[in-house]
Amino acid sequence: MKDVYFMERDPYAPIRHCYGISKILYEGKSKYQEIQVVESHYFGKMLILDGVVQFTEKNEFFYHEMLTHPVMFAHKNPQNVLIIGGGDGGILREVLKHKTVKKAVLVDIDKDVVEVSKKFFPTVACSMDDPRAIILNEDGFKYIQDYKNEFDVIIVDSTDPVGFAHVLTTEEFFKYVFEALKEDGIYVGQSESLHYHLDIVVRFQKALKKNFPIVDLYTTVIPVYAGYWWSFSVGSKVYNPREISRDVDVETRFYSDEIHKNAFLPPNFYQKVLNGTFKY
């Protein structure tokens, strides 16, 4: 059987990614978004939400490890972790590799994403039944408003900041995040591509700076994301996210202490990004 081709449209930039697909395994529409699972000869199974690839079996570990471990290892003793979004379970899997963690709460508004991921991506959703995990299908923006001084680490694994996910990138949301974190808490969220979404990256950073005393930016290459050069924005109350506070003692495929130290933008270039002097 010959491949058919799926054309992904970036929601911001006038670019297209084209994927050869051998089989459509699932198509459905939840209350919030369109969900597809497709099979690719090269990438394996792929999760697609609203026409945008979220991850593939072949390289999901780059994203899930890099969104999780830099802040988890920057914190000295992360015991209580909140994940907003991430209904596929990949971030939960990585968080629960840390022996310090006593509770990990995953709050994803879309139950269908959770169920589809359990069925089609068992190696990603493999920690859903861990006794330390609590899975809630609620609005993360509303959920976080009920907590003060509760979490050591908050990780936001959201779709692109359009539609219902936009609220998770606002100053108001980051105010609630700050309040929900303990006095030495730390936050991280994916903040789009430095190549194609630079204005979003800068807006993210400036909104965090209105709430957190320590704000930083690190990056990695994600092969199936627009522009490949993907960014992660950090807001910290105490810890310098560039520094590792504990021994790196989890099993990973990509993340390491060396990767951690080299993932953050050089200070001079980081300032250029923030003040707008880095331009194409």
Q: Give me the helices (H) in the chain, please.
A: 60-74, 90-95, 111-120, 140-144, 171-180, 198-209, 257-263, 267-275
pTM (2 d.p.): 0.95
pLDDT at 162 over 70: no
Instruction: Report which of 72, 67, 113 is spatially closest to residue 91, judged by C-alpha positions.
Output: 67
Dihedrals phi, psi of 156, to nearest 5 degrees: -110, 115
Per-residue pLDDT tens digits for 33-90: 999 999 999 999 999 999 999 999 999 999 999 999 999 999 999 999 999 999 999 9
Instruction: Report which of 70, 68, 30 is spatially closest to residue 47, judged by C-alpha positions.
Output: 30
The answer to whether the CB of 144 falls within 8 A of the CB of 84 is: yes
Instruction: Report which of 46, 54, 50 is spatially closest to residue 162, judged by C-alpha positions.
Output: 50
**Picking from 137-141, 219-223, 227-231, 276-280, which range would have the lowest pLDDT averaged per residue?**
276-280
CA distance 60 to 37: 14
Per-residue pLDDT tens digits for 125-154: 999 999 999 999 999 999 999 999 999 999
How big is the CA angle at 36 (ends 30 and 37), to the nearest 5 degrees? 135
- Model pLDDT, residue 102: 98
What kind and span of H or E run contains 48?
strand 44-49
Instruction: Report which of 212, 216, 148 is spatially closest to residue 182, judged by C-alpha positions.
Output: 148
Instruction: Report which of 131, 85, 127, 77 is spatially closest to residue 106, judged by C-alpha positions.
Output: 85
DSSP reduced 3-state for 14: coil
How big is the CA angle at 88 (ends 230 and 205), to the nearest 5 degrees? 30
Q: What is the mean pLDDT of residues 151-180?
A: 87
Query: What does pLDDT average to over the chain?
Result: 94
- Model pLDDT, residue 16: 84
Number of helices (H) and strands (E), helices first, in the chain?
8, 13
Q: What is the mean pLDDT of residues 165-190?
A: 93
CA distance 236 to 244: 14
Q: Which of 157, 184, 216, 247 is catalytic?
A: 157
Please confirm, yes or no, whether 108 is among the known catalytic residues.
no
The answer to whether the CB of 224 falls within 8 A of the CB of 53 is: yes
Confidence of residue 230 (pLDDT cuts 50, 70, 90): very high
* Full set of structural domains in the chain with CATH: 4-55 (2.30.140.10), 60-275 (3.40.50.150)
- Model pLDDT, residue 168: 85
Produce one character per residue of 57-66: b if its CB has 16 or more CB atoms within 10 Å, e if not.
bebbbbbbbb
pLDDT at 252 over 90: yes
Residues whose CB is less than 8 angstroms from the CB of residue 27 and which lie 6 or more positions away in sequence, other chains included:
34, 35, 36
How many other C-beta atoms are found inside a 10 Å radius of the C-beta of residue 95? 28
- Model pLDDT, residue 165: 67
